[in-house]
Structure 1
Amino acid sequence: MRPNGQARSQKSQQVILITGPSGAGRSTAENVLEDLGCETIDNLPLSLLPRLIDGVPMGRPLALGIDVRNREFSTQAVLDMIAQLSSDPRIDLEVLYLDCRADVLSRRYSETRRRHPLAPAEAPELGIKREFDLLERIRLRSDILLDTSDLTPHDLRAELKRWFDAEDARRLAVSVHSFSYKRGVPNGIDLLFDCRFLANPYWEKPLRRLDGRDQRVADYVAADPRSATFFDKTRDLVRFLLPAYVDEGKAHLSIGFGCTGGQHRSVVLAERMARALAEDEWQVSIRHHELERRGHVSASTGSGDKG
């Protein structure tokens, strides 16, 4: 799973943790990763994981599927497991979260006539809501987030191969994050940039309830005379570093932009960086932590902390 079989930064075992709501495609992802050479284990009891990790390195990536059917599942137990693996110097961990809209999940359950594991005697919609609530903190902790709502199984397979196929010599998972400093820096950020010196759209009443995905907010941030220079220099730094990280064998790079409320400036810069890197043909995902926390709030209806 590394470009051209490169080294893993002195870490002996790559682990891909696959999770997400039931019906979002976890089984498909496990099958794809198995085809790509992973040792795949579905819903291993969490208490057995230390014994597995303490064993002899497998010589190939390990893909672990975890969902609410796991008999030892709890939100905190999974977060503790992620923290434990992330801090283990032997482990190179990536958390893959397969997301999906509630209406699409409901349709999938209707088409297959399967019962939701959290609502076996009730409507699937109740189970979907319960599962979203349980998984929200894990979703925010993920490294790679793929929304499967509009993907066929074939599309999902192609997307997973794009991220994880070792034959791709430029395989490096880049995630760009926006966040609120008031809520703390997200776990696992490698490169961190503070946007709080830029002009704040929050103080403009017409922009306050919008977020950085709205062109009016982006234009306001871009009008700060320091904005273009700041972005150009950060983009050039990232462009310089990415090939070096590929040569070093790094699998994942997280880039964070933070502002006060995580709604305006950091979102604008994260969107711009993600677009620039995608145009350079890097594999990029984007995470807006504060907007996610608010429930995928839209650019025209967001409510505002100071951002």
Structure 2
Amino acid sequence: MNKYIHRFHVLSISLGLLAAIGFVYNSVILGLLFPKVERFDPIGTQWEIAGIIVGASLFLIAVFHLVAMLAMLLRALNLRSVSWRVAALLVLGILSGILILADLTMLQEIGKQYAQGWHSTGEWTILFTSTALHALFIGLSLPALIANLRAPGSSPDEPMLRDHVAFQLTHLTGSLCGALGTAAWLTAVAIQAPTWILEQTVITLGGLILTPYLLILLVWLWSKRKDLIPDWFDEKQIQDVAKASLGTLLVTPPIMLLFYLLQIKLPDGDLWGLLWLPAYLFLTLLTFSAGTLLLSRE
């Protein structure tokens, strides 16, 4: 393993252990604070001190997310292939990292609503959901980082090999994000989600799910900054992308036609009207990325 990647892994594991301790502390404090806030019990100065430590722990967890994802990304680019596990961890890490900002926002909102005498059940739900994602990322990434540190690794110096790995990682991430987005809108259809909920969540949730793919795509584009556009793909990649594009073109129009028919035929047409764009976007991303990935591995 490259010495710089090795150092990143050692730093990530060290930060991960500290982040795990901070996470446990935050979980205990939030678990104790939740019933007090919901009952509007008086909160003394000791809880304010605890809140400062919670904020510091969130900062530490955020730093761990950043360093751990960078270590895994460098490790992936240093290998001759990239796995679904690595891509899934990167997607999970990006989503969990973004939600740390939501944690801070929710804590501020809970404080404001507590001062006003309002219940904040919705904010607590979001906070506990994002906390669960943090736990999942910390719990999965630490063993992965330790395994990477122990495993022998190749160090491909050939630019073509690194480009191939980056190409695969981009489409792995696209496949995962497309699958998550597709699962989200199918769930909304299955449970007949109220339109007022969709109006408030479609853009935010859709953007959140897309973010990992966009970030990995930006990394890939940055790696191509010195190349002319015709040199971005090798001959096989051009063929794979062309075939996947054709497959996407054949798959998505019939499904969108079905969406259109459902929108005009069913009484609850507003549901389909709100979901057609995310459905098209994530279905296209899933079909194109998964198709390109499968073709590239033939």
TM-score, normalising length: structure 1:
0.28
Instruction: Report which of the two has the higher share of strand.
Output: 1
TM-score (norm 2): 0.29
